Structure 1
Amino acid sequence: MSRKKTETGTRSRLTPLLLAVFALLSPLGVFIPVALGDETSLFSGRLEAGNVIGEIRVQPGDTAAVDFCYMDPSDSIQGFTLTVCVSDELLGVPGSWDISGTYLEVVGAEYIQQQVDNDMTDGDGKEMIVGILLDALPPFEGQSMPPTQQPLSLGSCQFQIPPTVPCFSCFEVAFCDDIDATGSVLLSNRVVIGFRSVAPGEMLSSSICVPLQSLFVRGDVNNDAIVDVADVIYLLQYLFNNGQSIPCPDAADPDDDGLINISDALYIALYTLAGGMAPLSPFPDCGLEGIPDPDDLECTVEAGACSTCP
Structure 2
Amino acid sequence: MKRILVTGGLGFIGSHTVVELQNSGFEVVIIDDLSNSKIEVLDQITSISGTKPDFYQIDLRVKKDVQHFFENNTVDGIIHFAASKAVGESVNEPLKYYENNITTLVYILQEMKNRKIDNFIFSSSCTVYGQADQLPITESAPTKPAESPYGNTKQIGEEIIKESCGSYNLNAIALRYFNPIGAHESIKIGELPLGVPQNLIPFVTQTAAGIRKELSVFGDDYDTVDGTAVRDYIHVVDLAKAHIAALSRLIEKRNKTNFEFFNVGTGTGSSVLEVIQSFEKATGKPLNYKIVGRRAGDITAAYADTTIANKELNWKTEKTLDEALLSAWKWQEKQ
TM range (shorter): under 0.3
Structure with more strand by fraction: 1
- TM (norm. structure 2) is 0.26
TM-score with structure 1 setting the length: 0.27
Q: Which has the higher helix share?
A: 2
